[in-house]
Amino acid sequence: MNLFMTQSEWPSASLARFPDPSQILVRTAWKSPSNIALVKYWGKFEGQLPANPSLSITLSACYTETEVVCTESESGAMEVSFLLDGQPKPAFEDKLKTFCQSLLPQKPFLKGKHLWVRSRNTFPHSAGIASSASGMSAFCLALCTLENECTGALAKKEDFFSEASRLSRLASGSASRSVYGGFVLWGKHPLEEKSSDEEAFPVSWNIHPEFRGLNDWIVVCDRQEKAVSSRAGHGLMNGHPYAAERFRQAFQNIERMKMALVSGDWETFSFITEHEALSLHAMMMTSRPWFILMKPTTLALLDALKAFRANTGCRVTFTLDAGPNLHLLFPDSEKENVNDFLISKSGLNLRPEDIIQDKEGTGPERIL
């Protein structure tokens, strides 16, 4: 799909008419990646502030491209019209509109504007591969470009990305981390002076070459929209009997993860990564009401992976986001072994289209 909008591509039926080119004030497009958390964010306070710091790797193959065209709004009120893959998506549109309206007191340049948004994801949304992170960060990066074109306030690169991360956090917490490439920390932690609950930062640590360019092959166990959204899941951490201990564990795991990443300690890296993934899902299973996002294929894969690793010593570890799809993390040297595992040894008849071959990426890119 060619992303850039023309008048004729905008479906006219129930939507307001796409503006005449002479009415366009600003037009921009951003490509922004998803990310996978190694130390998980699950539980938050008022204002989208995280209950614990989280650490992620930014991906490259899983991304969103979003184009935003800004005009004056005919009604005078702030409006958003949204297309996903060229089709109206009212639920996504409502979320973006509510978000933009919530920004009006701090972003007066949005007053009376109509944002025409067109977007596409390279991977299934709402399935635990963090389309909220790539989708919201792509949109917020575009908002920052609009702001800069309207006010000049974000001319410095550092200010631009800092604001993009802060806005992305307000839209969807983990989106704050997608604004930068590599290993990214969101949430105040004593280990990193610059760290903040308000925005994410790339870590300053000297990451061991073992962990650079790490592969993340995502096995799509289920493409359906998950039954419980992340937003609802976070809410269930309020009053959760294990919440306090979980938050303490995450703080500690950031510290242990840093030591593993800097020293090249694969065993510890693997242990913490898996422990974090299963702790996240344990929180879901022990919420009130409880819910389970893993599917039978997820569990079958975990069993098969454990046996394969014990037999081969393959350096592959796994994590799960808030969904059923398994992320396999491994260095380049294990590519053939992991491929062999998935295609021949897992016993699951996986098709190539069920596997997204992703890896550490360098972060977002302005494409228009």
Residues within the interface to ligand ADP (CB under 6 A): 64, 66, 84, 92, 95, 119, 121, 125-132, 135-136, 139, 229-230, 323
Which CB sits closer to ligand ADP, 33 or 128?
A: 128
Going by C-alpha positions, the residue among 27, 38, 155, 172 that lies closest to residue 96 is 172
Nearer to ligand ADP, 324 or 363 (CB): 324
Count Cβ atoms within 10 A of the Cβ of residue 288 and give its class: 0-12 exposed, 13-18 middle, 19 or more buried: exposed
58 versus 132: smaller Cβ distance to ligand ADP: 132
Of the pair 55, 136, the CB lying nearest ligand ADP is at 136
Buried b (16+ CB within 10 A) or exposed e, 48-71: bebbbbbbbbbbbbbbbbbbbbbb
Alpha-carbon distance values, 43 to 52, 125, 173, 190, 237 (Å):
8, 21, 10, 19, 5
Residue 121 or 273 with smaller CB distance to ligand ADP: 121
Smallest gap from residue 255 Cβ to ligand ADP (A): 27
Give the β-pairing of 44-45 and 49-50: antiparallel
Please say which residue, 50 or 323, places its beta carbon nearer to ligand ADP.
Answer: 323
Please identify, using beta-carbon distances, which residue of 34 and 195 lies nearer to ligand ADP.
34
Residue nearest to ligand ADP (CB): 135
Q: How far is the CB of 123 from ligand ADP (least distance, A)?
A: 8
How many Cα atoms are found within 13 Å in the side-chain-facing hemisphere of 51? Answer: 22
The residue among 355, 292, 297 whose CA lies nearest residue 328 is 355
Least spacing, CB of residue 356 vs ligand ADP, in Å: 13
Length of the chain counted residue by residue: 368
State the minimum distance, in angstroms, from the CB of residue 344 to ligand ADP. Answer: 29
Write down the least CB distance from residue 174 to ligand ADP, Å. 8
CA distance 296 to 58: 28
- Those residues whose C-beta lies under 8 Å from the C-beta of residue 114, and which sit 6 or more positions away, are 16, 19, 70, 71, 72, 73, 74, 78, 79, 80, 81
Name the minimum Å distance from CB 41 to ligand ADP: 11
Considering the complex, what minimum distance in angstroms separates the CB of residue 4 from ligand ADP? Answer: 16
Whole-angstrom distance, CA of residue 342 vs CA of residue 339: 5
Helix, strand, coil percentages, rounded to 5, for the chain = 40, 25, 35
